[in-house]
Amino acid sequence: MLKLLGVCLIVCGCSGLGWYAVTGYLVRLRMLEEAEQALHFLYGEIEYSGCDMIELLDKLALRGGYFCSFWSGMAGGLKGYDGQCFFKHWQQEIRKIPEIRNLQEEDLELLMEVGENLGNMDRYTQLHTLEIFQERLHIIIGQAREEYRDKAKVSLVVGVTMGCLLALALI
């Protein structure tokens, strides 16, 4: 009876590890999609309303999601200006996002570049720069969707298979 319980625990544990890998891919995809929506929002607000950056960040924070704490932290950092430049606040706040570990290096580099170029230029240059980042992010999202489709099933199957093999080896 104990062996059967042990086998079930091993199979469930390994399956859980496979599922954890699948959720990591899904969180990455959702974070990138949310970042794309935020860039579209920023583009529209800069182009049509002409709001200042603190107001834009507050509006983004109200939308919720993975980046909610990031946007509110950025708005708070700009309100309580402490002499640091915008990009330094951006770097500090982006590292505080708990789910940031799910993003790949190229995703993080793109987000850092957005912070480096946001708010530094005139309106038209900023809009053009946002368009470029939107295009790049759209390509990355396409790659992330392909990766999710390819690796999600494989991760789950490998987790279950390894659990079964490990259980058989221990019996």
Conformational region of residue 35, where left means phi above 0, alpha means psi within -120 to 50, and beta covers everything else: alpha
- 7-11 contacts, C-beta under 8 A, 24 or more apart: 7/167, 7/170, 7/171, 10/163, 10/166, 10/167, 10/170, 11/160, 11/163, 11/164, 11/167
State the CB neighbour count (10 A cutoff) for residue 32.
25
How large is the average pLDDT for residues 54-59? 85
Q: How many CA atoms lie within 13 A of 41 on its CB side?
A: 17
Tens of pLDDT, residue by residue over 63-92, are: 888 888 888 888 888 887 766 777 888 888
pTM, two decimals, is: 0.83
- pLDDT value at 37 more than 80: yes
Mean pLDDT of the chain: 86
Q: Which two tokens stand for residue 94?
A: 């982006």
User: 86-95 vs 68-79: helix axis angle to the nearest 10?
Assistant: 150
State how far the Cα of 73 lies from the Cα of 87, in Å rounded to an integer.
Answer: 13
- Kindly report the length of the chain: 171
Per-residue pLDDT at 143:
92
Q: Which two tokens stand for residue 104?
A: 């790949």
Residue percentage of the chain with pLDDT more than 70 = 96
CB 71 within 8 A of CB 79: no
Tens of pLDDT, residue by residue over 96-143, are: 888 888 888 898 899 888 888 876 667 788 888 889 999 999 999 999
Question: Who contacts 35 (Cβ-Cβ below 8 Å, separation ≥6)?
Answer: 67, 111, 137
State how far the Cα of 90 lies from the Cα of 82, in Å rounded to an integer.
Answer: 14
CB 163 within 8 A of CB 11: yes
